[in-house]
Chain A
Amino acid sequence: MSKGIVFKYEAKRLLRSKEYLLLLAVTLTYSISLLRGIVLYGVDYTAPFSGLTFSAYCSSLTPFLLVLILVLCARQFRTSERGAEAIISSTGTSFQIFRLIRCGAVACAFLIAALIPLAACFVFYGLVFDYTEFGPLLLTGILILIPQAVFLFGIAMLLGKRKSVGIYILLSAVIIISIFQIQIPGLTDIIESTPVRTFNGAEYNPALSTVDGQLTFFLLGTSLIIASLCQSEKRY
């Protein structure tokens, strides 16, 4: 299989899809309003480019990005996609490899959607405040944005194989929790309903438990993704 070609088409299909473009536009619009609001003012009167403000910015974006990744996952398990798999399964391609390429395309689309608002924030910092020390902030952004997304991605991939309606239920749960700002306790807070922060002056010092939690999400999510890939296609 020419993996590059398959990846190219999968990525193209995702990046050109209406759902992706729409969600990206919404995320970007929201990120701009955040920049003009909480970032400019600074969270808890800290600097706009403080770790605390930046992490609040990333936390606010998390629900949108999680919705985006779930929508992309749901796409994989639509009836039309499953119909195409009837043909694809008859090629010599290993289904695990094929699924992996698809996951890769989803991950790529997600990363683009996550990086654009981060880049917008950095540009904002640079233009307005002449602030350019983005390294630690980027790490903060990754710590906040990636683990939960990986975790939900893994759950969605497993759910999708069994009952694709499960992804929509998960999606609805994320939307409802986000819109109505329902607080979820501690380590189960996969959608950053309670923004994680430990305020220590102007610095963002995530507690060890927070880092552990994020790491757990990441590892669990990766395991779930691998599990979904490794499962052989049921041939009753």
Chain B
Amino acid sequence: MRIELKHLQKKYKGGKTAVKDISLTLASPSLVGLVGPNGAGKSTLMKLLTGNLLPGSGEILVDGQPLLKNEKQFKSSLGYLPQEFGLFEDLTTEEFLDYMAALKCIERRTAKSEIDRVITVTHLEDKRKAKIRTLSGGQKQRVGIAQALLGEPKLLILDEPTAGLDPAERVSFRNLFAEAARNRLIILSTHIIEDVQSACDMLIVLDRGEIRFTGTPDELMKMKNVSSLENAYMALMEGRDSE
């Protein structure tokens, strides 16, 4: 899969420009990390990529075709976890995943095994029959990740996927995403630098709707002449402040 963003711009009502003239090419297999401060435009960019928002100008091409023209086909190979989402609290974990599997048009005969797989992968075995309202915040986050993984989507867009997870779980999911990225495109937006440090093969730093950096984490560290990605990121942001 290849996604091209060409001069993408998004301005909200009230005049705030969330995304300013972004041009990018993303191709699978890849784990793309998207970082930036609050209000940088990360979530807006994610929503533009899922087709849930329409750009003000510019276009998004998926495998050479405009996204909106083949929206249905595009979404059939998309797994999306938004930053803020809700679940059906009155269903059990298994029921909710079954529901999502139906919405994703996963065939009945493979749906059960697929549900079993994502439950295992997200360590929700003991919460399979529990009502979602009884789950903790972190467990609900895992349910969100699980539904995104249903159907082995070719494109995974994850907005703050590790929010609410404990450090051990974060490591586990980091590894999971890294593994999954071997044969698909994953775009992962996060505040937590460690999430992108080890596994990402491409790092995009977004700030005030503009791309400040595109490249590998190592390239950023080299550019800023520091040994840790966090320091490199901070240096990049400080440079912004001093401009």
A–B contact via C-beta, under 8 angstroms: yes
B108 adjacent to chain A (CB < 8 Å):
yes
- A residues sitting closer than 8 Å to B (CB atoms) are 1-3, 5-6, 9, 13, 16-17, 79-94, 98, 235-236
Question: Contact at B89–A80, with CB atoms within 8 Å?
Answer: yes
Q: How far is the CB of A169 from chain B (nearest CB, A)?
A: 24
> Contacting chain A: which of B74-82, B120-128, B184-192, B216-224?
B74-82
Chain A residues, Cβ within 8 Å of B76: 91-92
Distance of A92 Cα from B150 Cα, bound (Å): 13
Decide yes or no: A1 and B86 within 8 Å by CB, A90-B75, A91-B75, A92-B75 being known contacts: no
Establish whether residues A1 and B105, one from each chain, have CB atoms under 8 Å apart when the complex forms: yes
Min CB distance B132 to A, Å, is 10
User: Closest B-chain residue to A17, C-beta based?
Assistant: B90
Q: What CA separation (Å) do A94 and B88 show in the bound complex?
A: 19
Within 8 Å by CB of A9, from B54, B87, B91, lies B91
Residue of A nearest to B56 (CB): A236
**Minimum Cβ distance to chain B for residue A164 (Å):** 14
A87's nearest neighbour on chain B, judged by CB, is B85
**How far, in whole Å, are A93 and B71 apart by their CA atoms in the complex?**
10
* CB atoms of A83 and B12 under 8 A apart: no
A9, A16, A80, A90: the one contacting B99 at CB < 8 Å is A9
Determine if B36 is an interface residue (Cβ-Cβ < 8 Å): no
Question: A1 near B103 (CB under 8 angstroms)?
Answer: yes
Contact indicator B52/A2 (Cβ below 8 Å): no
Min CB distance A203 to B, Å, is 46
Contact A6 B90 (CB under 8 A): no
A75–B160 CA distance with the chains assembled, in angstroms? 28
Interface: B102 (CB within 8 A)? yes
Residue picked from A1, A13, A82, A87, most chain B C-beta under 10 Å: A87
Q: Is B100 close to A, CB under 8 A?
A: yes
Contacting pair B53 A235 (CB below 8 A): yes
The complex places the Cα of A25 from the Cα of B101 at a distance, in Å, of 34
17 residue pairs A–B, Cβ–Cβ below 8 Å: A1-B103, A1-B104, A13-B90, A86-B52, A87-B80, A87-B100, A87-B144, A89-B50, A90-B79, A90-B82, A92-B72, A92-B73, A92-B105, A93-B103, A94-B72, A236-B12, A236-B54
